[in-house]
């Protein structure tokens, strides 16, 4: 049976440009990140970027499948400076006090023989059936590095900020 251990839990008391967790121990099998976030951008849903170990090189890629209408869509990118198109945050155009949710697995994060993968899913609720005022999706990311992950940085793209009460919980997972 899998055991989940809280490595870090952060609830913002004000706006912040990023969530940055350093000194992640290598003693777990996998990492699991759970966020509930909102940004100060005037949009219904906001895009996040993820970097490992402060690496800003062009060695990240991603694939996303999402729906903000009755017709799902997909896209992908490569040679990026972060894992992008993570829509884990609600913006200020959405219903007041509504936060987006996202969960992310980072399997084998401490292994130095393989590239690092992510598997995520998210939802932005908005009490609306209007196209592109709500959003759900799944996402796969890749960091083309064999370095063990010891730092995670999650940032709203376009220079936005996470707002007060956004939460980030990072778990170490063993036995899964």
DSSP 62-99: EEEEEESSSS-EEEEEEEESSEEEEEEEE-TTSSTT--
Q: Which domains does the chain have, with CATH numbers?
A: 3-174 (2.60.120)
Sites in the chain below the pLDDT cut of 50? none
Can you give the pLDDT at residue 26?
A: 96
Kindly state the tokens that stand for 170: 């990072």
Can you give the pLDDT at residue 135?
A: 87
| Cα 122 from Cα 140, distance rounded (Å) | 12
Kindly state the tokens that stand for 16: 């912040």
What φ, ψ does residue 159 adopt, rounded to 5°?
75, 15
Angle (nearest 5°) at CA 170 between 169 and 175: 130
If we measure between CA atoms, which residue out of 50, 22, 24 comes closest to residue 110?
Answer: 24
Can you give the pLDDT at residue 118?
A: 98
Alpha-carbon distance values, 112 to 26, 51, 57, 66, 100 (Å): 11, 17, 18, 31, 33
Can you give the pLDDT at residue 136?
A: 92
> Which pTM does this prediction carry?
0.95
Can you give the pLDDT at residue 168?
A: 98
Can you give the pLDDT at residue 154?
A: 97
């Amino acid at each position: 049976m899998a055991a989940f251990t809280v490595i870090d839990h952060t609830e913002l008391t004000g706006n912040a440009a990023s969530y940055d967790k350093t000194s992640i121990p290598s003693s777990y099998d996998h990492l699991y990140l759970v966020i509930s976030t909102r940004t100060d951008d005037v949009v219904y849903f906001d895009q996040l970027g993820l970097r490992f170990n402060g690496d800003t090189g062009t060695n990240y890629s991603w694939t996303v499948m999402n729906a903000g209408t009755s017709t799902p869509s997909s896209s992908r990118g490569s040679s990026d400076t972060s894992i992008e198109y993570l829509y884990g945050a609600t913006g200020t155009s959405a219903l007041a006090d509504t936060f987006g949710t996202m969960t992310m697995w980072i399997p084998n994060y401490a292994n130095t023989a393989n590239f690092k993968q992510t598997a995520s899913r998210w939802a932005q609720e908005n009490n609306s059936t209007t196209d592109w005022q709500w959003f759900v999706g799944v996402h796969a990311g890749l960091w083309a590095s064999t370095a063990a992950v010891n730092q995670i940085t999650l940032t709203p793209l376009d220079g936005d900020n996470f707002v007060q009460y956004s939460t980030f919980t990072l778990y170490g997972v063993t036995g899964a």
